[in-house]
């Protein structure tokens, strides 16, 4: 616990969530995560965790001071989401999976000069991009949205199961 970590501050609904990468694994501040869950007693979230899901670390504050905080591992976050059910948790889980945890991992990858994800405001939403070799790359799935075309849902009849079912109906199975 001698090492101090500089946290990446992520914002969700004007509430901060500080996160750090420890041994290439994302960890977030337990008290702040409990607040995002809407939990009134953050210590309950910490008591629920196994020893490998919770640890105490020092975070470097902007003024140079150190703050000792308890942090949750990724599995601890998902465990808390399952344990403390609330309708908003579905959106929180999506935000964690698609924005917060990739941003934490990419903050670690940026130091290693690896590809990293970034977000670009586009229309009324955001588009996921990949920053790599000095350029921005767009996923093929995002292209219809960039051109303003609605994204077509995959047709079940076009899958091998749909073709098998359709052929079976024709043959009277």
Q: Is the pLDDT of residue 112 over 60?
A: no
Banded pLDDT at 68 (limits 50, 70, 90): very high
Q: Do 52 and 95 fall within a single domain?
A: yes
User: Is the pTM for the entire model greater than 0.85?
Assistant: no
Domain count, the chain: 2
Q: Do 73 and 26 fall within a single domain?
A: yes
Helix, strand, coil percentages (3-state) for the chain, rounded to 5, are: 40, 30, 30
Alpha carbons 65 and 67: distance in angstroms, whole number: 7
For the ranges 28-37, 38-47, 76-85, 109-118, which has the lowest average pLDDT?
109-118
Q: Do 57 and 139 fall within a single domain?
A: no
Domain extent at residue 20: 4-112
pLDDT of residue 11: 87
């Amino acid at each position: 616990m001698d090492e101090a970590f500089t946290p990446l501050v992520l914002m969700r609904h004007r509430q901060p969530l500080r996160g750090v990468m420890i041994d290439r694994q994302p960890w977030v501040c337990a008290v702040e995560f409990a607040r995002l869950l809407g939990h009134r007693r953050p210590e309950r979230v910490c008591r629920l965790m196994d020893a490998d899901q919770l640890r105490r670390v020092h975070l470097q504050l902007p003024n140079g001071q150190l703050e000792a905080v308890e942090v949750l591992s990724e599995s601890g976050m998902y465990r808390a989401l399952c344990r403390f059910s609330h309708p908003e948790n579905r959106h929180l889980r999506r935000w964690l999976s698609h924005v917060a945890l990739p941003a934490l991992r990419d903050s670690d990858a940026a130091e290693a000069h690896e590809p990293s994800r970034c977000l670009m405001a586009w229309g009324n939403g955001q588009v996921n991009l990949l920053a790599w070799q000095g350029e921005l790359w767009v996923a093929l799935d995002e292209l219809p949205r960039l051109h303003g075309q609605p994204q077509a849902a995959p047709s079940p009849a076009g899958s091998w199961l749909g073709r098998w079912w359709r052929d079976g109906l024709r043959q009277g199975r």
